[in-house]
A and B are shown apart, each in its own frame.
Chain A
């Protein structure tokens, strides 16, 4: 069966520090991968999605970046965090051949102080 792992679950980082969140998927190949951000009490904002290794589509301009070094690994990064980067970050995967839901990781609650 397929599983998705996202870590860490919580993170407190100072302004200006770097960020690296990792997400891996098991039990499937060539998934679509997504990074979403959810500000407190708000909706799910799509940040990046990827349909294959090295293929990244950015949805909103920001100081975040994403990479997909392996088929089932998706990384969200920042060189210098801003206060406005605080939020609940969710990684998700979906299949490409059959239209299905996105399966979400447990999320990372990031607080930039």
Chain B
């Protein structure tokens, strides 16, 4: 089955700096890769996603890159703000099993 690894587990950056979170996946049939943000005590919310036919996608301060050959994808947040502090999860949707597997999460702390 699919295995998604996520690094780092915690990340502290100063306000205005960039943050990068990396994930790898094992199932070459996976073809959809969403990123979620989870604030304390709340449900995960989608912030950006990318499909396997695209190498990069950007939405304002957030971007995601995908390298299908290496089976890894990354989340980039630029000009970080305190409200970006949360736990971020990557995920991969298996093309065969219809199941969404999550990484272990990254706790991002943006300090003033």
Once the chains bind, are A43 and B89 in contact (CB under 8 Å)? yes
Once the chains bind, are A42 and B105 in contact (CB under 8 Å)? yes
Most buried by A among B31, B43, B45: B43
Which one, B31, B46, B89, B93, contacts A44 given CB within 8 A?
A: B89
Once the chains bind, are A34 and B104 in contact (CB under 8 Å)? no
Once the chains bind, are A46 and B98 in contact (CB under 8 Å)? no
Asked if A105 meets B43 with Cβ closer than 8 Å, knowing A44-B89, A99-B32, the reply is: yes
Once the chains bind, are B103 and A49 in contact (CB under 8 Å)? no
Q: How far is the CA of A106 from the CA of B43 in the complex (A)?
A: 6
Which one, B43, B98, B104, contacts A90 given CB within 8 A?
A: B43
Once the chains bind, are A51 and B98 in contact (CB under 8 Å)? yes
Main secondary structure on B side of the interface with A: strand
Residues in A whose Cβ lies below 8 Å from that of B49:
100-101
Which one, A57, A59, A101, contacts B34 given CB within 8 A?
A: A101
Once the chains bind, are B99 and A49 in contact (CB under 8 Å)? yes
Q: How far is the CA of A42 from the CA of B10 in the complex (A)?
A: 12
Once the chains bind, are A96 and B98 in contact (CB under 8 Å)? yes
Residues in B whose Cβ lies below 8 Å from that of A107:
42-43
Given pairs A43-B103, A49-B99, A100-B49, 13 additional interface contacts (CB within 8 A): A43-B6, A44-B44, A44-B89, A44-B105, A57-B97, A57-B99, A59-B99, A90-B44, A94-B98, A99-B31, A99-B51, A104-B45, A107-B43
B-side residues, CB < 8 A to A, are 6, 31-32, 34, 36, 42-46, 49, 51, 89, 91, 93, 97-105
9 closest Cβ contacts across the A-B interface?
A: A99-B32, A43-B104, A104-B43, A44-B102, A101-B46, A101-B34, A43-B105, A49-B99, A102-B100
